[in-house]
Amino acid sequence: MTKNCYVFIDASNMFYGTPNDQDWRVDFKKLMEYLKSKYKVKKFFYYSGVDTCGYEANIKSTASYPIKNLLEYLTKLPKQRTGKNSQKIHKSIKKVQFFKKLEEFGYVLRLKPIKHIRTESGLKLKANCDVDLTYDMLRLEPEYDSFILLSGDGDFEILLRYAREKGTRFAVLSHKEKTARIIKEKYSREYKEFSRIKSFIEK
C-alpha cells in the first residue's frame, strides 16, 4: 500500500455472527499493529452499533462517537434496576468499555445507536452502518491514496468498483463465509481471507 492508507472496519460483518468467532478471537491491538506494519496504515475507522439505553449524543456528522460520555451516563443509571433492564445496562456497559479500549488503542469510533424494532416475530435490533462507512470513504478520499476494507458485504462492491476506476489501491480482508461472491471473484487480486492472518492477530 501507499503512505496514506486508511482502514474501514464493518464490525457487523466481521465480528458478529461469524462462524470463525467460535474458534478464535481477535486482539484488536495486534490487528492494528499488524496492519500498520504490513500496509503502513495511518488511520483506523471502526463502525458498529451501540446500545445507548436512552443516551442521545448530539455530535457532528464527522465526529468520533463520545464513548466516554456514554460510559459515564450508563454507570450513573439507577442501580436498583433489576431483571431485563439491569441485564441490558450491564451488557451495554461491558460493550462500551470494549469500545473505550479500542479508542485508547487509536481506533476512530463511528458508532450508531441500536434501534429496537418490534416485529411479529419479536424484538429486532438494527444498527446498519453501511451508509456511515460509505460516507466516510467518500468524504475522506482527498486524505488517503489507498485503503483496506474489512468487510465482505456485497453492498460495498460499488465502492470497490469506483476505487478501481480511479486507480486507487485497496485491499479487502474478510471471512470467506460472509464475503459476497462478487467480491471474491471480481476482486480476487485484492481479496484476502481474514483467517490467513490469524497467527498475527489472535488473542
129-161: pLDDT as tens digits: 999 999 999 999 999 999 999 999 999 999 999
Task: Give the C-alpha separation, 5 to 105, whole Å.
Answer: 17
Over 60: is that where the pLDDT of 123 sits?
Answer: no
| pLDDT single digits (tens) 38-47 | 999 999 999 9
The pLDDT value recorded for residue 47 is 97
Higher-pLDDT residue of 103, 120:
103
| pLDDT for 81 | 54
Tell me the per-residue pLDDT of 58-91, one tens digit each, with 9 for 90 and over: 999 999 999 999 999 999 887 655 566 778 888 8
**Amino acid (1-letter code) at residue 192:** K
pTM: 0.90
C-alpha cell at 190: 485484492
Half-sphere exposure of 72 (CA within 13 A, CB side): 6
Q: What is the largest CA-CA distance in the chain?
A: 58
DSSP alpha helix (H) spans, 76-124: 83-105
